[in-house]
Amino acid sequence: MDQQHTRLLARDANGESRLIAARDIHDGAGRRHGGTTAEYNGPHYTSPMQSRGGERHRPGDAVVLRYVTTAGHIEICWPCRVVEDREDLVVLFIAAGSPYKAGPKRSAAEKRRQPAGPLPPNEYVWRNDTLRLMLPGRSHSVSMFFGVEAGTRRLLKYFVNMEEPFRRTAVGFDTQDHTLDIEVTPELAWRWRDEAELANHVAEGFYTAELAAAAREEGSSAIEAILRLGHACTRGWPEWQPPAEWRAPAFVDGWDTAPPTFWARRRWAYGNDVS
């Protein structure tokens, strides 16, 4: 997830042709506050959500979202508040000003030359209020970035992140980034991001070619749903505002020691890179 980048490209004929050519396009709709849900079946990239026990979270609960590598290292960690935790949708809120832990963004070649340690080395400050919508069993999330201009809160962009289906942990949720992203304006102009780096991760042996192809297919499915306003992220969430009493939470105890969870399909996805 990258909130430094601000340059956006409008949707054009090339973007439309990708959607038309994509196969197995399915509905990405989620329930809006008690509405109906259209089942979001997708390519083989997805899998049932794995749970590590425990009850669902309540609105306002403090949790962490962690990116976990194949070696079980924590790559990035965000403290969040739970907005909703339902059977069909989990929504997390990362407040502007929140601390988060990460390392510098590195290319696949740099990762290969110098593997990361067990914990993220640096702490940074998150810049924009962000809702992160995660669909159980799906291999993408949608982050919605908000800003304030002239005293008015407004949606800045949608950010579709291809990733492992999330898993529940004792401290929150685990997943791992799959490099490929889609950036979408509030007017629904969109473009792919990090396509070259996805190919580099395949070349360096971090991802299998099958994972890369499935990530592309997942992205096509997600953007098709967003463009026709059938995705959960377009249903009421652009107008959402956090409760006035919510403050940015600290990292919950155990964020760095709670055992990581692993995706059941990681050998298919990462091949020989799985330890």
Per-residue pLDDT of 16-28, as tens digits, reads 333 323 323 222 3
Q: Is residue 163 part of a domain?
A: yes
- Which CA distances in Å does 17 have to 21, 28, 74, 220, 224? 6, 19, 38, 11, 11
Q: Give the up-direction half-sphere exposure of residue 71: CA atoms within 13 A in the CB hemisphere.
A: 11
**CA-only gyration radius of the chain, Å:** 18
- Give domain status of residue 69, yes or no: yes
Mean pLDDT in residue range 70-86: 97
* pLDDT bracket for residue 83 (50, 70, 90): very high
Q: In whole numbers, what is the pLDDT of the chain averaged over residues? A: 84
Residue 77 CA: distances (Å) to CA of 48, 117, 122, 124, 172: 23, 14, 11, 11, 10
Residue 203 pLDDT more than 90? yes
Domain that holds residue 155: 13-273
Q: Look at residue 275 in the predicted model and tell me its pLDDT.
A: 60
Position 78 in a domain = yes
Q: Does residue 240 lie within any of the structural domains?
A: yes
What are the structure tokens assigned to 159, written together?
Answer: 């950010």
- Residue 177 DSSP label: E
Hey, how many other C-beta atoms are within 10 angstroms of the C-beta on 215? Answer: 24
Among 22-31, 52-61, 103-112, 261-270, whose mean pLDDT is lowest?
A: 22-31
> Would you state the structure tokens that stand for residue 243, as one six-digit string?
């409760």
pLDDT value, residue 135: 97
**175: pLDDT strictly greater than 80:** yes
**Does residue 160 fall inside a structural domain?**
yes
Q: What is the pLDDT of residue 181?
A: 98
Q: 140-149 and 152-163 as β-strands: parallel, antiparallel, unpaired?
A: antiparallel
CATH assignment at residue 18: 2.40.380.10
Query: What pLDDT was estimated at residue 46?
Result: 55
- As a whole number of angstroms, the distance between CA 141 and CA 151 comes to 29
Is residue 34 over pLDDT 50? no
Q: Could you tell me the pTM of the whole model?
A: 0.82
Give me the pLDDT at residue 4, please. Answer: 36
pLDDT of residue 190: 98
On the question of pLDDT at 15 being above 90, the answer is no
Phi/psi-derived region of residue 185, left when phi > 0, alpha when psi is between -120 and 50, beta in every other case: beta
pLDDT of residue 32: 32
Q: What is the distance between the alpha carbons of residues 89 and 274, in angstroms, rounded to a whole number?
A: 29
How far CA 61 is from CA of 79, 125, 210, 267, 268, in Å, comes to 11, 20, 37, 33, 34
Higher pLDDT, 41 or 196: 196
Which residue stretches of the chain are H helix?
A: 13-21, 108-113, 195-203, 209-227, 266-270
pLDDT for res 235: 95
Tokens of 266: 């990681």
Please indicate whether residue 238 or residue 272 has the higher confidence score (pLDDT): 238
* pLDDT, mean of residues 220-245: 97
Tens-digit pLDDT profile for residues 109-141: 999 999 989 999 999 999 999 999 999 999 999
Q: Which two tokens stand for residue 156?
A: 């800045």
**Is 229 part of a structural domain of the chain?**
yes
Residue 49 has pLDDT above 90, yes or no: no
Domain assignment present for residue 265? The answer is: yes
Q: At a CB cut-off of 8 Å and minimum separation 6, what does 241 contact?
A: 153
Task: Say if 209 falls within a structural domain.
Answer: yes
